[in-house]
Chains A and B, each alone.
Chain A
Amino acid sequence: MTTPTYSVTRSSQAARVGAVLGALVLILLIAAPWWAGRADMRLMGELFLYLALASLWNLMAGYAGLVSVGQQAYVGFGGYMLFALTMFGGLHPIAAIALAGVLGALISIPVAVLIFRLRGAYFAIGTWVIAEVFRLGFAQVSSLGGGSGSSLPVAIVKSLASKRAMRESLSYWLALGAAVLVITAVYFFLRSRKGLALTAIRDNETAASSLGIDIWRTKFIVYVVTSAFTAMIGALIFLQKLRISPDAAFSVNDWTAFVIFIVVIGGIGTIEGPIIGTLVFFLLRETLADLGTTYLIVLGVVAIVVMLKAPKGLWGLIRSRFDIQIFPLGYRVLKRDKP
């Protein structure tokens, strides 16, 4: 007779296969400067930065229930900090990116205290007001070019690396590194004690609160951390673009609408969702971009249909069919028969 024993595990076959495959893909991507063309590398760099933004927005909206349509505030803030710190502070661009993150966290604290007074959808529009305040505020700073913006001086660009090929590789690696860093950070955050609290809040705020979770504090931490990372990504984006203006830096379409579509289409509230969403988004963009505005209409329609018909997105469809999780967050009970 055999007595079944039970063991609790987080890992699964899919996760192990996923980890090995992920590592192989990562090695391949790190080596991209040796096998990919310049245009491809640029595109992939942009893809990684969108992936990072989408993962961050997903952490806020999908887990903390903070639906923001104003993340462009921090993208633009980070971009402007990169310009200000390198041009007037004399910092090396990479140091400026790190410092932009710190400043992004600092500025997000009073912002959070203020807009956390708004709930739900009103919170969303409140974040947009903040982004508008940032945009109009930076447009008043004449040393940064005012409303028409400014370009990054050549000397600063050259301080990154003197040769163009090296510069391009470096900015590609920074983008890749940012995406990997953000996804890893989100993954380990969600596996931690705080992450468990966050998942509890996502599932039922009242129940979580009755278990002693400080909801305001948990959401506040998520907001500040997300803002810091978003500001760093923003700095990276404008290091690639080399030119900044208030309208480009605080564009609601570029830095929020697309990001929301990515997360919704891929699957909100999962780590895998933004990855799939980003791939689908870039696939659509590269094939339909010639259509101009029609492309954006198509994107809006796709997002609405997904939200109504498959609210868990593409990854939700896959998961309900195959029951796999590549980034193991939940625990599962395994039954083993003992001889």
Chain B
Amino acid sequence: MDWLNAVVQGTLLGGLYALFAAGLSLIFGVMRLVNIAHGDLIVLAAYLGLTVTTATGMHPLLALVVVVPVMATIGYALQRGLLNQTLGDDLLPPLLVTFGLSVIIQNALLEGYTADPQKLSAGALETASFDLGGLTLGVLPALTFAIAVVVIWGLQRVFYHTPLGRAFRAVSDNQDIAQLMGLNRRHIFGLAMALALAVTAVAGILLGIRTSFDPSIGGGRLIFGFEAVIIGGLGNLWGTLAGGVILGVAQTVGAKIDPGWQILSGHIAFLIILAVRPNGLFPRISA
């Protein structure tokens, strides 16, 4: 039963990792950009949530109403103002610019909020639990998982059933021809980044409610998201959810064996899958 419990808790944790990964997966799918600052943007969203909740006394989940549009705006501005300039055949500029961005965000947060660990307080939601078939599940982890499923379903829907999604797929397939067909790819990329950071905002708030955070943890979140993407297979959003779940389960099962091995066993699971299935479990496109 203990093991089953670890697996179930890991599955729910995987929902959070899938949310970390969804934005990463989306922007890679649309513009082949890997954003090294992604983890720091998640942390930024958590801090924005902190500011909003302390200023207004709002519940953190309600603060999403403010944080999601703010992050989306930041995303659009960032893409049009900076990241669009880095796109091209050369791999180095996007990589190094987002790396520089990561250092800037991290230190700006350090300047603004100090290095003290912070937490978003969600009142009774943090400790609420319910019984299911002999297991006791936290309401928050279950809610996180449900949100992850809804977000990924929503992204999938946007991607395959809306004009915006058609534009995303068009620029992803061939930028030049999409441009000739009257799509402004710079604008489309901006919208993709806005959507990605909207998802990031949700991930950041849920992270902040679940655990304490400080400006230095962005890199770790980036790695979890990245591992979920690679395990699931590039360009497959449902695969990303599966990747998040596998990573989460590996971590909780590892922690069950020895608490010091929690994060390490997640990384090892990732490396094993990389060795056995280099394209991930459910690949759709090749990098």
Could you tell me which A residues sit within 8 Å of B by CB distance?
61, 65, 67, 69, 114-115, 117-122, 124-126, 128-129, 132-133, 136-137, 139-140, 252-253, 257, 260-261, 264, 268, 293-294, 296-297, 299-301, 303-304, 307-308, 311
When distances are taken between beta carbons in the complex, the residues of chain A under 8 Å from B110 are 293
When distances are taken between beta carbons in the complex, the residues of chain B under 8 Å from A139 are 260
Chain A, Cβ-Cβ closest to B262: A136
B92 touching A61, Cβ below 8 Å:
yes
The contact sample of 25 A-B pairs, CB cut-off 8 A, is A67-B91, A67-B95, A69-B36, A69-B99, A114-B274, A118-B287, A121-B33, A121-B91, A122-B34, A124-B34, A125-B34, A125-B36, A128-B223, A129-B223, A133-B264, A136-B264, A136-B267, A140-B261, A293-B108, A293-B111, A300-B104, A303-B96, A304-B97, A304-B104, A311-B93
Chain A, Cβ-Cβ closest to B91: A120
Interface centre among A118, A139, A252, A307 (most CB of B within 10 A): A307
Given the known inter-chain contacts A122-B226, A125-B222, A304-B100, please indicate yes or no for A294 contacting B95, CB distance below 8 A. Answer: no
A121 touching B223, Cβ below 8 Å:
no
B interface size (C-beta, 8 A): 41
Does B86 touch A at the CB level, under 8 Å?
Answer: yes
B271 touching A253, Cβ below 8 Å:
no
Nearest-CB distance from A77 to chain B (Å)?
16
Chain A, Cβ-Cβ closest to B92: A67
For window 256-287 of B, CB contacts with A under 8 Å fall at 260-261, 263-264, 267-268, 270-271, 274-275, 278, 287
When distances are taken between beta carbons in the complex, the residues of chain A under 8 Å from B278 are 117-118
Does B77 touch A at the CB level, under 8 Å?
Answer: no
Nearest-CB distance from A290 to chain B (Å)?
14
Could you tell me which B residues sit within 8 Å of A by CB distance?
33-34, 36, 82, 85-86, 91-97, 99-101, 103-104, 107-108, 110-111, 219-220, 222-223, 226-227, 230, 260-261, 263-264, 267-268, 270-271, 274-275, 278, 287
Given contacts A257-B103, A293-B111, A307-B100, 20 further A-B contacts (CB under 8 A): A61-B92, A114-B271, A114-B275, A122-B34, A122-B287, A124-B36, A125-B36, A126-B274, A128-B219, A139-B260, A140-B260, A260-B99, A261-B100, A264-B96, A300-B100, A300-B104, A303-B96, A304-B96, A304-B100, A311-B92
A307 touching B96, Cβ below 8 Å:
yes
When distances are taken between beta carbons in the complex, the residues of chain A under 8 Å from B103 are 253, 257, 296-297, 299-300
Contact of B230 among A122, A128, A252, A294 (CB under 8 A): A122
Complex-state Cα separation, A267 to B254, whole angstroms: 44
Given the known inter-chain contacts A132-B223, A294-B111, A296-B103, please indicate yes or no for A117 contacting B274, CB distance below 8 A. Answer: yes
Nearest-CB distance from A293 to chain B (Å)?
4
Complex-state Cα separation, A293 to B111, whole angstroms: 7
Given the known inter-chain contacts A65-B91, A260-B96, A304-B97, please indicate yes or no for A129 contacting B36, CB distance below 8 A. Answer: no
Contact of A136 among B93, B222, B263 (CB under 8 A): B263
Complex-state Cα separation, A257 to B100, whole angstroms: 8
Chain A, Cβ-Cβ closest to B215: A293
Given the known inter-chain contacts A129-B267, A133-B264, please indicate yes or no for A303 contacting B100, CB distance below 8 A. Answer: yes
A257 touching B99, Cβ below 8 Å:
yes
Nearest-CB distance from B115 to chain A (Å)?
10
Chain B, Cβ-Cβ closest to A305: B100
Complex-state Cα separation, A139 to B97, whole angstroms: 31
Chain A, Cβ-Cβ closest to B261: A140
A296 touching B107, Cβ below 8 Å:
yes
When distances are taken between beta carbons in the complex, the residues of chain A under 8 Å from B274 are 114-115, 117-118, 126
Complex-state Cα separation, A229 to B25, whole angstroms: 35
Complex-state Cα separation, A225 to B91, whole angstroms: 23
Chain A, Cβ-Cβ closest to B104: A300
Nearest-CB distance from B169 to chain A (Å)?
21
Given the known inter-chain contacts A122-B287, A307-B93, please indicate yes or no for A133 contacting B267, CB distance below 8 A. Answer: yes
Nearest-CB distance from B59 to chain A (Å)?
31
When distances are taken between beta carbons in the complex, the residues of chain A under 8 Å from B101 are 300, 304
Contact of A133 among B91, B94, B260, B268 (CB under 8 A): B268
